[in-house]
Amino acid sequence: MTILITGGAGFIGGHTVLALIDRGEIPIVLDDLSTGNRAAVPSGVPFFAGDIGDTELVLRLIQNHRIDAIVHFAAKIVVPESVADPLNYYLNNTVKTHTLLQAAVRGNVKHFVFSSTAAVYGNPSSTPVSETADPAPLSPYGRSKLMSEYMLVDASAAYDLRYVTLRYFNVAGADPARRLGQSTPGATHLIKVALETALRRRSYMNIYGSDYPTPDGTCVRDYVHVSDLARSHLAALDHLRDGGESRTLNCGYGRGYSVRQVVDAVRRVAGVDFEIRQAPRRAGDPASIVANSDELMKLGWEPELNDLPTMIEHALEWEKKLTAVT
Ligand code: UFG
What CATH number corresponds to the domain at position 20?
Answer: 3.40.50.720
Q: Is pLDDT above 70 for 120?
A: yes
Q: Is 185 inside any structural domain?
A: no
Q: Is 164 inside any structural domain?
A: yes
111 and 140, same structural domain? yes
Nearest-CA residue for ligand 1 atom 1 is: 190
> Average pLDDT, stretch 139-151?
97
Cα–Cα nearest to 127, from 307, 295, 297, 288: 288
281 and 238, same structural domain? no
Query: Alpha-carbon distance 159 to 64, whole Å?
Result: 22
What sign for the dihedral angle of Cα 13, 19, 22, 28? negative
Helix axes 96-106, 140-158, angle to 10 degrees: 20
Q: Is 150 inside any structural domain?
A: yes
Nearest-CA residue for ligand 1 atom 15 is: 219
> Average pLDDT, stretch 206-234?
98
Nearest-CA residue for ligand 1 atom 33 is: 77
Are the C-beta atoms of 174 and 226 separated by less than 8 Å? yes
Q: Is 258 inside any structural domain?
A: yes
Q: Total structural domains in the chain?
A: 2
Q: How many alpha carbons fall within 13 Å on the CB side of residue 191?
A: 33
285 and 195, same structural domain? yes
Using the atom order of ligand 1, give the atom closest to the CA of residue 286: 15
Rg (CA), the chain: 19
Query: Alpha-carbon distance 241 to 40, whole Å?
Result: 27
What sign for the dihedral angle of Cα 103, 105, 111, 117? positive
Which of 120-124, 184-188, 305-309 is predicted least confidently? 184-188
Look at residues 236, 251, 266 and tell me which one is the last residue of a structural domain.
Answer: 251
Distance 80 CA to ligand 1 centre (A): 9
- Per-residue model confidence as pLDDT tens digits over 62-75: 999 999 999 999 99
Q: Is pLDDT above 60 for 326?
A: no
Distance 300 CA to ligand 1 centre (A): 28
Give the sheet arrangement for strand 257-258, strand by strand: 257-258, 220-221, 288-289
84 and 232, same structural domain? yes
Cα–Cα nearest to 186, from 50, 80, 42: 80
Query: Alpha-carbon distance 130 to 261, whole Å?
Result: 24
277 and 129, same structural domain? no
Higher pLDDT, 157 or 187: 157
Q: What is the CATH number of the domain that holds 279?
A: 3.90.25.10
Using the atom order of ligand 1, give the atom closest to the CA of residue 207: 7
Coil vs helix vs strand at 257 = strand
Using the atom order of ligand 1, give the atom closest to the CA of residue 205: 8
Distances 115 to 112, 183, 256, 264 between C-alpha atoms, Å: 10, 19, 21, 30
- Per-residue model confidence as pLDDT tens digits over 172-189: 999 999 999 998 888 899
Are the C-beta atoms of 146 and 120 separated by less than 8 Å? yes
Catalytic residue check, 141: yes
Distance 57 CA to ligand 1 centre (A): 34
Cis check: omega of the bond before 286, within 30 degrees of 0: no
Q: Is 286 inside any structural domain?
A: yes
Beta strands of the chain (E only): which ranges?
2-6, 26-31, 47-49, 67-72, 111-117, 162-168, 170-172, 204-208, 220-221, 223-225, 247-251, 257-258, 275-279, 288-289
Cβ burial, residue 157 (10 Å; 0-12/13-18/19+): exposed
Residue 73's domain comprises 2-171+224-251
Distance 157 CA to ligand 1 centre (A): 34
Q: In percent, how much of the chain has pLDDT > 70?
A: 99
Cβ burial, residue 176 (10 Å; 0-12/13-18/19+): middle
By most ligand atoms within 8 Å of CB, the mutation choice from 281, 285, 289, 312 for ligand 1 is 285
Coil vs helix vs strand at 214 = coil
Helix axes 226-241, 11-22, angle to 10 degrees: 60
Distance 189 CA to ligand 1 centre (A): 5
197 and 150, same structural domain? no
Cα–Cα nearest to 19, from 236, 189, 167: 236
Query: Alpha-carbon distance 138 to 170, whole Å?
Result: 16
pLDDT at 324: 75
229 and 87, same structural domain? yes
Query: What pTM was computed for the model?
Result: 0.96
140 and 76, same structural domain? yes
Using the atom order of ligand 1, give the atom closest to the CA of residue 192: 20
Cα–Cα nearest to 210, from 258, 245, 267: 258
Q: Is 184 inside any structural domain?
A: no
Q: Is 68 inside any structural domain?
A: yes
Using the atom order of ligand 1, give the atom closest to the CA of residue 189: 20
103 and 159, same structural domain? yes
Q: Which residue out of 89, 121, 141, 253 is catalytically annotated? A: 141
Average pLDDT over the chain, rounded to an integer: 96
Specify the DSSP element, H or E, that contains 62.
Answer: helix 55-64
CB environment 276-289: b (16+ within 10 A), e (fewer): beeeeeeebbbbbb
Nearest-CA residue for ligand 1 atom 26 is: 170
148 and 125, same structural domain? yes
Q: Is 312 inside any structural domain?
A: yes
Polymer length of the chain: 326
- Per-residue model confidence as pLDDT tens digits over 16-38: 999 999 999 999 999 999 999 99
pLDDT at 325: 62
Look at residues 251, 269, 292 and tell me which one is the last residue of a structural domain.
Answer: 251
194 and 135, same structural domain? no
Nearest-CA residue for ligand 1 atom 5 is: 190
273 and 240, same structural domain? no
